[in-house]
Amino acid sequence: MSDERPQKPLPEEQLSRETTSLEKAPSVSGPGASAAPVLPGQPGQPVAAPALRASDADRERVVERLRDAVAEGRLDMEEFQERLEAAYASRTYAELEPLTRDLPAVGGAPAGAAVAAGPGQEQAAWPERIGGAGTSSTAVAVMSGFQRKGQWTVPARFNAVAFWGGGDLDLREASFSQREVVITCIAVMGGIQITVPPGVEVDVRGIGVMGAFDQRGNPGPLQPGAPRVVVTGFAMWGGVEIRVKPLKSDRENKPRRRKEL
């Protein structure tokens, strides 16, 4: 028998053998396999999308809903004050949403922060369309008619009068001097039609005597930063109609359903 003992492998040879054995080792996969933890900053780590930031208009929308809730008797002054402070301190929609989660929806849409428009919906650049001086503040039709459409700026207060006549206010391409505008309509034996794009909040408060204030169409989810249009006034033997309607170009861009044979 030989007394010679096997020599210890050099560090380089040992490292080479270990590397080869790792390369030949079978991979472990399947439901029972545990993935190696991914440390922050490593490639392949999923990065969470930052929360969508809320604007001043979004915070004001929530504050207005809270004020309505106080008037309706749903919140007492202590709760209102707490939520009011939280609303003005909020920076994201995720922080605004819980403040109105337990309040009834307004107009069929959540009363909290607006929901971003999805595929196929009109995506208006509202921050760019709010601000500036109003184009005109009054429209009168006496046995005649008036029309405001296209690119014009709606002032904070707009008065529309139709006596034995008719008027058409189209807000789909309009800008707004403020985030909330009030349109006061007086219709006597006449009619006034107001057209707004989807995603805009509409609040109808008019009074009809042998007449009516009629809102047609579903505004859909409120768009972030969209204005609020308050329609008020008086209609006697006449009517005021508020329609929700997209622009013709938006309807043409929507995908059409194929008819089944």
Is residue 100 within 8 Å of residue 111, measured between CB atoms? yes
Kindly report the pTM of this predicted structure.
Answer: 0.52
Element (H, E) at 67: helix 56-71
* Average pLDDT along the chain: 75
pLDDT digits (tens, 9 = 90+) for 191-222: 999 999 998 999 999 999 998 999 887 777 88
Which residues have C-beta within 8 Å of that of residue 1, sequence separation ≥ 6? Answer: none
* Tens of pLDDT, residues 61-113: 888 888 877 777 788 888 888 898 898 898 887 888 888 888 875 443 444 44
Grouping H, G, I as helix, E, B as strand and the rest as coil, residue 30 is: coil
User: What local confidence, expressed as pLDDT, does residue 167 receive?
Assistant: 95
Residues 53, 56, 60, 61: is their CA dihedral positive or negative?
negative
Q: Is the pLDDT of residue 137 over 80?
A: yes
pLDDT in tens, 147-181: 999 999 999 999 999 999 999 999 999 999 999 99
